[in-house]
């Protein structure tokens, strides 16, 4: 049985997992869960029964059913170690983890859809204020990520790591919201290199089965 990944095409957290599954060449099935306003399939009882947190991604691998992208990716590293996405040696192994958490913990939560919706609906932020908020946290987070990034074709060397799985979706969102990123030369170059690889192309939002539904 293939792995099941509950996913939404525009979810950057699900995008991270799709990239890793592709890099590891694992057989998986996408189960679309729409987060689109007016649909909100993630809040329906059927999905709540699968994942009480009502978020994507959620991975079902037989005896293992788990949410939260970082936890999913660490599980995949342990269960399918043949193509490692965490370097074996220190200190780069810990730097990859730190880079991932810069995005997963410091950038993404502040710019998540539900946060932006709350800013507008509950705090009265207009479109400009929402855009300024988004750009501020992208720039603050990317400044630190640029400083931590290593040398090489990808974020940490000449092979993609979990760091690239996190960077590419966040960069996609920055472009989507028209945030200038040219000053982050390492991050831009790494993203461009990644997006030439089939694993990243296949994981791209526009390539997902539910992209046409919105």
pLDDT band at 124 (very low <50, low <70, confident <90, very high): confident
Query: Going by C-beta distance under 8 Å and a sequence separation of 6 or more, which residues neighbour residue 49?
Result: none
Arithmetic mean of pLDDT, 78-84: 96
Q: Are residues 195 and 101 in the same domain?
A: yes
Looking at the structure of the chain, the number of domains it has is 2
* Mean confidence (pLDDT) of the chain: 93
Structure tokens of 32? 């679309």
> Does the pLDDT at position 35 exceed 90?
no
pLDDT tens digits for 114-123? 777 777 777 8
- What pLDDT, on a 0 to 100 scale, did the predictor assign at position 134? 86
Q: How far apart are CA 209 and CA 214, in angstroms?
A: 11
Strand partners, 61: 64
Q: What pLDDT band is residue 106 in, cutting at 50, 70 and 90?
A: very high
My answer on whether 70 and 108 are in the same domain is no
Tell me the β-bridge partners of 154. 157
Q: Is residue 210 part of a domain?
A: no
Same domain, 144 and 184: yes
pLDDT of residue 170: 96
pLDDT digits (tens, 9 = 90+) for 52-70: 999 999 999 999 999 999 9
Tell which of 65, 84, 103 closes a domain.
84
Helix (H) / strand (E) containing 30? strand 28-32
CB 103 within 8 A of CB 141: yes
- The whole domain housing 130 covers 92-199
């Amino acid at each position: 049985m293939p792995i099941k990944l509950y996913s939404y095409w525009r979810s950057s957290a699900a995008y991270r997992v799709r990239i890793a599954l592709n890099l590891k060449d694992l057989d998986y099935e996408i189960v679309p869960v729409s987060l689109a306003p007016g649909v909100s399939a993630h809040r329906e009882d059927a999905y709540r029964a699968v994942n009480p947190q009502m978020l994507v991604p959620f991975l079902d691998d037989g005896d293992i059913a788990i949410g939260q992208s970082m936890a999913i990716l660490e599980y995949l590293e342990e269960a399918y170690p043949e193509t490692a996405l965490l370097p074996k040696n220190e200190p780069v192994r810990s730097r990859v983890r730190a880079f991932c958490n810069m995005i997963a913990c410091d950038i993404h939560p502040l710019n998540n859809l539900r946060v932006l919706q709350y800013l507008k609906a509950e705090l009265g932020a207009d479109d400009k204020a929402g855009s300024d908020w988004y750009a501020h946290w992208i720039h603050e987070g990317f400044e630190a990520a640029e400083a931590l990034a290593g040398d090489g074709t990808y974020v940490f060397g000449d092979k993609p790591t979990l760091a690239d799985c996190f960077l590419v979706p966040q960069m996609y969102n920055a472009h989507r919201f028209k945030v200038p990123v040219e000053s982050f030369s390492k991050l831009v170059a790494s993203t461009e290199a990644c997006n030439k690889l089939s694993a990243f192309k296949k994981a791209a939002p526009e390539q997902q089965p539910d992209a046409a539904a919105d």
